[in-house]
Structure 1
């Protein structure tokens, strides 16, 4: 056996995969694919709203993502099915000497609906977090997607002084690009405090939902921005909401308030918050 060179550094890491698929049977959405590899899985599917909406909670048992880790999640929602995915708590990206990765690939068929409603992502100072999301919508597929990112741990006095966070998000409908976004934030950069950047706010949130709303509902949504600095923009076929906040809970509460208003209008169902959000 050949001995390792003295300067070789072995960094333990996890490569986790999760494949989820949903299909419609009569008036019920059922999981038809659930494959996992490594520490990434879903709990038992739930029907808090009845059989039409299948809810799954994605769990990452290690509780945090370290250097070298990779999470690959794929979701396929078949014709007329409705899946709602959330998480039991914050995703934590730890300080690391090497990057960690997350890839999310989503396909939503015609007539189907996906709600992607995870809790916040906390990026520790000195973390190297790299995330990529690809969403393909077919025909009249519907999407309700949100994301909350918290840099550092303000409650502990930790600023995002070093490391980096970068993300890519592409949403297409029938191959045509609806949304294309790239973000890269480097620890200690002037963008963190600049008025044209995060303006000193350690948390930001994004909501993207397919469809269009009238001016009255748009103004009602805009009036919700109390403890956050947020606004909404109606694009052709896509509603975009953004906010800056001093802590993740405020941003998440704002997203939930928007979801409560927008879900009946755009998805035709009253908002029923998953019980896991209260634990």
Structure 2
């Protein structure tokens, strides 16, 4: 079909925003702000661990992110509140002729705790995904953060041979930069198979948690990293613990993160790790 020269062809895109706020009221953490625009929502807040920990499940109803889409999520956790945020399933970034974007802004006040525990991000071949995350911690605020990225769809025989994945992550405490990271993986780049890159593994995961652990607990965590299904390790930095792994499947990487969470959460946050029910559905 021929179109007039002045007719612009375009692909519909979504611009979605979600703004969340939480406060501590006596012994209970409660939502204080829930504003959305476009296809981003949270389900009813849950208290699987009692009133102190408020859990929300972030839902993106379209089920995938296409070229031109933009997701903006901001969360503010007030003093002494405790919030756990997760997702009901994998985030899928579809192949596209143009870039798609996600921006996270997470703010955690003094005495507060934020657990950012989404399920995996699947980046299809030919996708153009750009993610930016900024986390601001105040005083003694605590953070437990992870992400799992799967490039392509190996189970379907799809290699990440076109497109790109780009991620920026900055963590500040009282305005001082604690962590500054930039990632850019281009389809079919030599680093996908290089031993100094992803070593042929299509899945990589990162865990970042505030605090410090002793040598005995670090060794127990490293024993998990020696599991045959992942290749990973941990590092203790000033005020931060960093863990990374490579895997053949997202399920293996996520299982490794959950096992680390079960060891580190009691030691650093003072609570046993109770997995959200949504992870089992």
Q: How do 1:183-198 residues align onto structure 2 when only pairs under 5 Å count? A: 183-198=183-198
- Is residue 106 of structure 1 aligned with residue 130 of structure 2? no
- 1:71, distance to aligned residue in structure 2 (A): 0.1
SS class of match (1:223)? helix
Q: How do 1:1-279 residues align onto structure 2 when only pairs under 5 Å count? A: 5-6=5-6, 8-225=8-225, 226=227, 227-279=229-281
Task: Tell me, in whole angstroms, the C-alpha distance in 1 between the residues paired with 2:86 and 2:185.
Answer: 25
- 1:133, distance to aligned residue in structure 2 (A): 0.1
TM-score between the two structures when normalised by the length of structure 1: 0.98
Task: Tell me, in whole angstroms, the C-alpha distance in 1 between the residues paired with 2:152 and 2:142.
Answer: 33
Task: Tell me, in whole angstroms, the C-alpha distance in 1 between the residues paired with 2:191 and 2:234.
Answer: 22
SS class of match (1:158)? coil
Deviations 1:173-205 (A, max 9, x none): 000000000000000100100000000000000
SS class of match (1:224)? helix
Task: Tell me, in whole angstroms, the C-alpha distance in 1 between the residues paired with 2:4 and 2:259.
Answer: 55
TM-score between the two structures when normalised by the length of structure 2: 0.97
Distance 1:6 1:249, change over 3 A: same
- 1:162, distance to aligned residue in structure 2 (A): 0.2
Uncovered stretches (5+) of structure 2, i.e. residues with no partner: none
Uncovered stretches (5+) of structure 1, i.e. residues with no partner: none
SS class of match (1:257)? helix
Task: Tell me, in whole angstroms, the C-alpha distance in 2 between the residues paired with 1:22 and 1:173.
Answer: 19
Deviations 1:234-268 (A, max 9, x none): 00100000000000000000000000000000000
- 1:163, distance to aligned residue in structure 2 (A): 0.2
RMSD, matched Cα? 0.9
Q: How many residues align?
A: 277
- 1:272, distance to aligned residue in structure 2 (A): 0.3
SS class of match (1:44)? coil
Deviations 1:15-34 (A, max 9, x none): 00000000000000000000
- 1:127, distance to aligned residue in structure 2 (A): 0.1
- 1:8, distance to aligned residue in structure 2 (A): 2.2
